[in-house]
């Protein structure tokens, strides 16, 4: 870890370091030959520009780090990022700059990345970086399997350009237009908004193993409602049109095509063959093309209660159903799955009879693994599966599974949150634990018995050391044994009365209470302002079984609010110095929704709230997320009525601060503005802080820093002790 700047306050440091992520290794890949580990990292805690690095693995210990590509030496200005790249970063909540993503050819010979709309490739054997001339701006470049071609998206088009790997002056394949339409609403090779924001699919094209075919999506946004994001601080700027599929409205049309070179020569074209993938299903959840297998098409119904996994026969472009997953409430889409384990289909499925999220081969849970809560598949071969799993709802560990015998071998053991990248004989683990700031990245040899072998070294983190340390008290609260973290002022004497600040979770899918250090730093800073801060993961959060997650179906308001109150009361029994007459609550996004909900519906328990970028009407949020939990508004209108904050506007009697980025294209500013209008109409005093030019993220340093100060001041003003 680095050394904090002497004059840093926590808000300044937190903002400058992008929540202490700057300087950490990330996007880790191991080359197929096991010779190198590739990763992205900046040069230090004050540098938000990511470079591409490599570490040699040919010896028993790690070789020196080699910087393969440095954006600051390439003379490009990121102010001119393509619009598609800006949107991708927003979907990924990416706040860094420079090389934020890269793609590696299957044979491990070539890396491709885009920088300010330009294409760059790296020959890993020669460790040389060079620009490749293209016909237009470059987004999402991906090499083919042998690294001789790179496909990329340019505007609405899908294109392919050749790479002269020999370096002897021979002409590479000319830049070719693969697919395009004469329509502003049609794009090729890009993930649509719903796929990228909610389904975890960030890409829209895939190379065949023999490099003779591209599968690509054709997305038509024409039927999707047009919304406009204006910049009120700059009225001369033209508003930006976005196509936003709000709950109950029409989704984009997503088609899938097989694209093949039609002839040879400089004017070669590409033939299109449409693939009838949908079978009446609404969502193309994923395409998985692994090894020599036929591609898998993963499709999901609009109500999300059925997912089908089908194999695509490339010869006739026929879809052959391989497996169906159903659920009475919703089917979860899982990271890394489906995939293959040998010739068997590997999936992660929720089993109501076990109340577990289990790993399955051809639809059957692997014997001996039924006790697990699987989080993701990391890698799989014929004889092993590497996965991450919750061993407790607050801990995530890397495990190895023998698919034949069902033996489960833990590969990490220290309480914390662990993830992994896997190569043939190498595993790289990233671990965040409660007692140590930041995270560590360790490189291990893999032993034949599927355990970790000798540690070969660590990839250095250059992230800043926080100016404060936190020691969350992890506990289980109430009859539901809700996972919680309690943070007290560093100088608290253990008896003096403290006002309470609830710092709740980010909604279904999102956990806050995990055994790590940095994840609780902001809560600790608020605690050091003189509060007992309580973070509670209520119903809907993962890690405790499918039933716990599904208890929020049909009502995203009352169950989650009840859990915060249950946890608050249980915490007061454990910590008698909590002053329940002075309780505040703060949150962002779903947490903002929950904060506003708390003071609107339970002013007897909550005395002030800060709601950042809150959803206030679920009619204004997107189809896939909202309808998973509330159903289609045409059929389940009561679910929307009972969860709409605008209906409760006349109930406000407590201080409420609403904060919203005016450029937010995820939870649009209309949420806050409509609630504010309803509060004004009801004569209810409240405060609104509009953030000009800010999206759903707040990466701007001055904004992020001062937001913490403003929240502190709001709470200090409105949670004053009663006067005698």
HEC profile of 179-216: ECCCCCCEEECCCCHHHHHHCCCCCCEEECCCCCCEEE
Residue 415 has pLDDT above 50, yes or no: yes
pLDDT band for position 6 (cuts 50, 70, 90): very low
Residue 488 burial (C-beta neighbours within 10 Å; 0-12, 13-18, 19+): buried
Instruction: State the pLDDT at residue 452.
Output: 78
Instruction: State the pLDDT at residue 697.
Output: 79
Over range 110-139, report the average pLDDT.
93
**In this predicted model, which residue has the larger pLDDT, 165 or 4?**
165
Cite the residue boundaries of each domain of the chain with CATH code 3.40.50.1820: 473-718
Instruction: State the pLDDT at residue 168.
Output: 45
Give one word for 6, left, alpha or beta, with left for phi > 0 and alpha for psi -120 to 50.
Answer: alpha
pLDDT tens digits, 454-505: 888 999 999 999 999 899 999 999 999 999 999 999 999 999 999 999 999 8
Residue 244 has pLDDT above 90, yes or no: yes
Over range 653-661, report the average pLDDT.
97
Which CATH code fits 473-718?
Answer: 3.40.50.1820
pLDDT tens digits, 501-550: 999 987 888 899 999 999 999 999 999 999 999 999 999 999 999 999 99
Over range 541-570, report the average pLDDT.
96
Task: Round to whole Å and give the CA distance between 314 and 291.
Answer: 15
Asked if residue 42 lies in contact with residue 483, where contact means CB atoms within 8 angstroms, the answer is no
Closest CA to 86 of 120, 117, 112, 55: 117
**In this predicted model, which residue has the larger pLDDT, 448 or 142?**
142
Instruction: State the pLDDT at residue 2.
Output: 44
Percent share of the chain, pLDDT over 70? 94
**In this predicted model, which residue has the larger pLDDT, 284 or 92?**
284
Task: Round to whole Å and give the CA distance between 688 and 678.
Answer: 13
3-class DSSP state for residue 588?
A: strand
Report the length, in residues, of the chain: 724
Residue with tokens 């023998």: 402
Task: Round to whole Å and give the CA distance between 410 and 396.
Answer: 11
Asked if residue 185 lies in contact with residue 220, where contact means CB atoms within 8 angstroms, the answer is yes
Instruction: State the pLDDT at residue 448.
Output: 58
Tokens of 274: 């449409």
Instruction: Sheet with 128-132: list strands edge to edge.
Output: 103-104, 110-115, 118-123, 128-132
Round the average pLDDT of the chain to a whole number and report it.
92
Percent share of the chain, pLDDT over 90? 78
Asked if residue 309 lies in contact with residue 296, where contact means CB atoms within 8 angstroms, the answer is yes
Tokens of 3: 């050394």
Task: Round to whole Å and give the CA distance between 46 and 624.
Answer: 37
pLDDT tens digits, 658-696: 999 999 999 999 999 999 999 999 999 999 999 998 888
Residues 6+ apart with CB under 8 A from 441: 24, 25, 28, 39, 428, 429, 430, 458, 459, 461
Residue 3 has pLDDT above 50, yes or no: no
Sign for the pseudo-dihedral over CA of 571, 577, 582, 584 = negative
3-class DSSP state for residue 373?
A: strand
Of the listed ranges 176-190, 638-652, 692-706, the least confidently predicted one is 692-706
């Amino acid at each position: 870890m680095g050394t904090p700047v002497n004059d840093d306050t926590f808000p300044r440091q937190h903002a400058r370091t992008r929540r202490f992520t700057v300087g950490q290794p990330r996007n880790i890949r191991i080359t197929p030959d096991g010779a190198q580990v590739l990763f992205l990292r900046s040069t230090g805690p004050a540098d938000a520009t990511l470079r591409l690095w490599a570490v040699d693995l040919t010896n028993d210990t790690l070789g020196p780090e080699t910087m393969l590509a440095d954006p600051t030496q390439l003379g490009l200005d990121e102010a001119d990022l393509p619009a598609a790249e800006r949107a991708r970063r927003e979907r990924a909540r990416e706040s860094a700059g420079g090389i934020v993503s890269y793609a590696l050819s299957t044979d491990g010979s070539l890396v491709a990345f885009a920088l300010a709309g330009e294409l760059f490739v790296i020959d890993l054997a020669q460790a040389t970086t060079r620009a490749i001339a293209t016909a237009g701006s470059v987004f999402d470049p991906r090499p083919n399997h042998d690294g001789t071609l790179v496909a990329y998206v340019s505007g609405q088009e899908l294109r392919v350009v050749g790479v002269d790997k020999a370096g002897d002056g021979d002409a590479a394949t000319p830049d070719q237009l693969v697919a395009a339409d004469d329509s502003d609403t049609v794009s090729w090779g890009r993930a649509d908004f719903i796929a990228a924001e909610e389904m975890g699919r960030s890409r829209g094209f895939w190379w065949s193993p023999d490099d003779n075919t591209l599968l690509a999506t054709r997305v038509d946004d024409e039927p999707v409602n047009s919304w406009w994001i204006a910049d009120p601080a700059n009225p001369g700027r033209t508003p930006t049109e976005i196509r936003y599929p709000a709950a109950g409205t029409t989704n984009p049309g997503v088609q899938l095509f097989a694209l093949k070179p039609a002839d040879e020569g400089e004017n070669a074209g590409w033939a299109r063959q449409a693939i009838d993938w949908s079978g009446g299903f609404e969502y193309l959840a994923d395409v998985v093309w692994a090894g020599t297998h036929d591609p898998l098409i993963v499709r999901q119904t609009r109500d999300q209660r059925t997912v089908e996994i089908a194999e695509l026969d490339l010869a006739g472009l026929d879809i052959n159903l391989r497996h169906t997953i159903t659920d009475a409430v919703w089917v979860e889409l899982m990271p890394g799955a489906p995939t293959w384990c040998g010739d068997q289909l590997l999936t992660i499925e929720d089993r109501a009879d076990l109340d577990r999220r289990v790993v399955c081969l051809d639809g059957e849970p692997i014997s001996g693994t039924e006790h697990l809560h699987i989080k993701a598949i990391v890698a799989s071969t014929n004889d092993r599966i590497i996965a991450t799993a919750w061993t407790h709802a607050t801990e995530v560990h890397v495990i190895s599974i023998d698919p034949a015998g069902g033996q489960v071998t833990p590969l990490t053991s220290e309480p914390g949150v662990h993830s992994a990248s896997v190569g043939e004989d190498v595993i790289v683990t990233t671990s965040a634990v409660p007692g140590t700031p930041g995270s560590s990245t360790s490189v291990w040899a893999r032993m034949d018995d599927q355990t970790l072998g000798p540690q070969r070294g660590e990839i250095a983190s250059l992230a800043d050391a926080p100016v404060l340390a936190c020691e969350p008290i992890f506990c289980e609260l109430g009859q539901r044994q809700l996972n919680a973290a309690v943070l007290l002022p560093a100088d608290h004497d253990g008896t003096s009365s403290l006002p309470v600040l609830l710092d709740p979770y980010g909604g279904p899918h999102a956990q806050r209470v995990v055994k790590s250090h940095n994840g609780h730093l902001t809560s600790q800073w608020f605690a050091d302002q003189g509060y007992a801060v309580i973070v509670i993961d209520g119903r809907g959060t993962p890690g405790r079984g499918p039933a716990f997650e599904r208890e929020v179906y049909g009502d995203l308001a009352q169950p989650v609010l009840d859990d915060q109150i249950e946890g608050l009361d249980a915490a007061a029994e454990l910590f008698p110095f909590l002053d329940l007459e002075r309780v505040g609550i703060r949150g962002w996004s779903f947490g903002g929704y929950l904060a506003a909900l708390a003071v609107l519906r339970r002013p007897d328990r909550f005395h002030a709230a800060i709601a950042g970028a809150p959803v206030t009407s679920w009619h204004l949020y997107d189809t896939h997320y909202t309808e998973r939990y509330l159903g289609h508004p045409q059929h389940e209108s009561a679910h929307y009525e009972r969860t709409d904050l605008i209906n409760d506007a006349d109930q406000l009697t407590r201080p409420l601060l609403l904060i919203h980025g005016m450029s937010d294209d995820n939870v649009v500013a209309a949420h806050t503005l409509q609630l504010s209008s309803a509060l004004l109409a009801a004569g209810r005093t409240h405060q609104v802080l509009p953030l000009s030019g800010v999206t759903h993220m707040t990466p701007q340093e001055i904004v992020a820093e001062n937001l913490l100060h403003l929240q502190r001041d709001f709470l200090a003003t409105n949670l004053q002790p009663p006067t005698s």
